[in-house]
Chain A
Amino acid sequence: MGAGGNVTADGARTLRERYAAEPQGGLAQLVVGAVGALLIGTGLIAVLAYNWDDFPRWVRIGLALGPLAVTQAVSWWVLGRGETAKPWQREAAAVVQTLAVGAAITLVSQIYNLPGKWTDLVFWWCVVSVPLAWVLRSEAVAIAYLIGIAVWTIAQASERTSYSDAIASGAIGIADVRPWFPLLLAGVLPLWPGLDLRERPAPGSRLVLAASALLGLLAVAAYATVRPAHMFPSFTGFPWLAMLSAAALLLFPLDRGGIAEPLARKPQVLLGGGALVVMALIGTFEGPARDFVMGVGVTASLGWCWLLLAVVVAFAILAFRQGRFAVLAVAGLALVPLLAAPLSADDASGWPVAITYSLVLLATAIALIALEFLGRQGAARIGAALIALLVILRMADADVSLLVKGLAFIVIGSGFLAFNAFVTRRRRVVASGGSPA
């Protein structure tokens, strides 16, 4: 028996092994290590850049590559220590080496006055640096990598808006981000979940991972749908693909532990769901609603659209089997343009779809509230906020006097605050084991 008399010695050992506690000060050491490494690396680059014109070319090349050799030696030493290496040592070694790689690439590019966009350098920097995140288990390098691949993907999509397919891949050399972005995003898999499938990113890294995935997927959607036009490129199919991208992120499969975590620790749900709700709110207006439906027809010929749809359906089936009804309710917002498309003529008004969107949003909000009150995973406050937003939008474009609008806003605001207080009190009662009723 353990000290408390409730757990056997073997059981206590098993629990300690499975839920190993982070040593005290571990996070602080990690942050200090990463910041220190960042300062050393950037300082080194600045020193080299300052002396630039006083050195001959071969000295400059030596100075560009020297730090790379030194930092590689340090990382090798840290790796050689295996599990005895402290987390801050691994983090610092990985960050400094990543900066040394960046310094080598950019300084060589400077020395030979190479043309080209800085985002192309970012691509190569990311590709050759991400293994450091795997082997040294560096969250900072993984975060930098995720930011880098999102920036590069957005840059490619942005360039793509000016050129036709043949031109983009020929004379201009823009990469096709449809295969590239998923491939690059998969570059974090050896770190999260890792080979043992048990590693999870820290909360801050999760946010960057989710944001990178969403921005990258939106950039891919823009890349896939853009059609160059004389003055302004056309993005007719973008909203529908953007909705599918957000739905895929929102529905991303989780294990039991992940599902049980609070919403604040699931940024993919917040960002994916938030993007979907914002687009659905836009869809409650006539013009955008018509464009959303038109976009479905435009994207029907795109392989990327069908791939996304297949992923969303697969994720949705899994979410249904896991009982994640709240995320399913929000993901359903992406289906409205698809279901409306066969029923709408090319020159039809967007009002039926806009009204449908308002009703579906209302139903989604009610579902989020009801699920929480039924004891399932819901989001009553988000549901209430959604209803308040819907009413505000409809009041804003309604042809009524300012006095009526003002009074309506006061009533809605008061109702929202009262509901918020009610939900808070209810959660406190439930948490203390009492009856919510």
Chain B
Amino acid sequence: MRPALAVFAVAAVAQWLLPLSGIWQHERVISRGTLLRIECAAPDPYDPLRGRYLAVRPAQSTVSQPEGFPRGGDPVSVWATLEVGDAGLARIKSVSLEPVSGPTVMPLTARWTGTTNGTDVISLEWPFDRFYLNERLAPGADKLVAERRRDGKQTVAEVRLLDGRAVLTDILLDGVSVRELVKQGAK
């Protein structure tokens, strides 16, 4: 085999490995992961390469700081244990600076943000922040989410969690996928 063909073959394999490794990792989480539903907000911004998406911002964006959390505002890795409440929505039960394991443990990034009512508070960055939608559907979805929010109804992010890796699988309004609702509205 000529050297050029050998180099091309290696590059071609790498070009397959990159998307396939992502597919394998995330399919594993979707098929075996724990299902969690988390209340969120979801406005509609834009990514230059990937197009329109709903920016998913979980409602629980701050918690009391765990013991020993450094002040100063720099981001720190933490491990949050979630629990499912009465309404079926997951909320953070505890935050640890040391790695912990469990089916509902999610690694997050946190920063010290200040003191509220005498309690030190940290803000959280969740490991999912976008739900991609077709260019045609995204503006409608944005409008729908805003309308439901005005009516006091919850927007819920459906997430699968496995071995600390989270995959956002859907955004639900009244238990129905926002994608389906927008498609129905467009008909």
129-143 of chain A: CB within 8 A of chain B:
129, 131-132, 134-135
A46 closest partner in B (C-beta) = B135
**In the bound complex, CA of A134 to CA of B7 (Å):** 9
A195 closest partner in B (C-beta) = B3
Quick check: is B98 within 8 A (CB to CB) of the other chain?
no
The residue that A64 contacts in the complex, of B11, B19, B76, B133, with Cβ under 8 A, is B19
Q: How many residues of A contact B (CB 8 A)?
A: 44
Quick check: is B87 within 8 A (CB to CB) of the other chain?
no
Chain B interface extent, by class: 35 or more
Contacts A61-B23, A115-B129; A172 near B75 (Cβ below 8 A): yes
**In the bound complex, CA of A163 to CA of B131 (Å):** 28
Select the stretch in A24-32, A49-57, A200-208, A303-311 that faces chain B: A49-57
Contacts A113-B131, A132-B11, A171-B75; A49 near B51 (Cβ below 8 A): yes
The residue that B49 contacts in the complex, of A80, A121, A129, A171, with Cβ under 8 A, is A121
Contacts A115-B127, A131-B7, A171-B75; A108 near B50 (Cβ below 8 A): no
Contacts A50-B134, A53-B137, A171-B75; A131 near B10 (Cβ below 8 A): yes
Query: Are B19 and A108 neighbours in the complex by a CB distance under 8 Å?
Result: yes
Query: Are B47 and A105 neighbours in the complex by a CB distance under 8 Å?
Result: no
Select the stretch in A68-76, A253-261, A287-295, A347-355 that faces chain B: A68-76
A304 smallest CB distance to B (angstroms): 23
Quick check: is A112 within 8 A (CB to CB) of the other chain?
yes
Contacts A49-B134, A128-B11; A110 near B50 (Cβ below 8 A): yes
CB neighbours (8 Å) of A106 from chain B are: 49-50
The residue that B22 contacts in the complex, of A108, A128, A164, A170, with Cβ under 8 A, is A108
Quick check: is A114 within 8 A (CB to CB) of the other chain?
yes
0/1 interface trace, chain B 1-37, chain A, CB 8 Å (1 if under):
0101101101110111011001100100000000000
CB neighbours (8 Å) of B109 from chain A are: 171-172
**B15, B23, B48, B127 — which one has the most chain A CB atoms within 10 A of its CB?**
B15
Quick check: is B91 within 8 A (CB to CB) of the other chain?
no
B80 smallest CB distance to A (angstroms): 14
0/1 interface trace, chain A 59-71, chain B, CB 8 Å (1 if under):
0010011001000
Quick check: is A109 within 8 A (CB to CB) of the other chain?
yes
Query: Are B128 and A118 neighbours in the complex by a CB distance under 8 Å?
Result: no
B128 closest partner in A (C-beta) = A115
100-128 of chain A: CB within 8 A of chain B:
101-102, 104-106, 108-115, 118, 121-122, 124, 127-128
Quick check: is B168 within 8 A (CB to CB) of the other chain?
yes
B117 smallest CB distance to A (angstroms): 25
CB neighbours (8 Å) of A389 from chain B are: none
CB neighbours (8 Å) of B69 from chain A are: none
0/1 interface trace, chain B 27-66, chain A, CB 8 Å (1 if under):
0000000000000000000011111010000000000000
CB neighbours (8 Å) of A115 from chain B are: 127-130
Query: Are B135 and A104 neighbours in the complex by a CB distance under 8 Å?
Result: no
Query: Are B7 and A65 neighbours in the complex by a CB distance under 8 Å?
Result: no
A103 smallest CB distance to B (angstroms): 10
**In the bound complex, CA of A264 to CA of B119 (Å):** 65
CB neighbours (8 Å) of A167 from chain B are: 74-75
CB neighbours (8 Å) of A132 from chain B are: 8, 11
The residue that B19 contacts in the complex, of A52, A104, A164, A170, with Cβ under 8 A, is A104
CB neighbours (8 Å) of A129 from chain B are: 11, 15
**In the bound complex, CA of A49 to CA of B49 (Å):** 11
A430 smallest CB distance to B (angstroms): 46
Q: Which residues of B contact A (CB under 8 A)?
A: 2, 4-5, 7-8, 10-12, 14-16, 18-19, 22-23, 26, 47-51, 53, 74-77, 109, 127-137, 167-169, 179, 183
Q: Given known contacts A113-B53, A128-B15, what 14 new A-B pairs fall within 8 Å (CB)?
A: A53-B137, A61-B23, A65-B19, A105-B19, A108-B22, A108-B23, A109-B22, A112-B22, A114-B26, A121-B49, A129-B11, A135-B8, A167-B75, A170-B77
The 24 listed contacts between A and B (C-beta, < 8 Å) are A49-B135, A50-B134, A50-B135, A52-B134, A53-B133, A53-B183, A61-B23, A65-B16, A72-B15, A104-B18, A108-B19, A110-B51, A111-B132, A112-B26, A113-B132, A113-B167, A113-B168, A114-B130, A121-B49, A124-B18, A129-B11, A131-B7, A135-B4, A171-B77
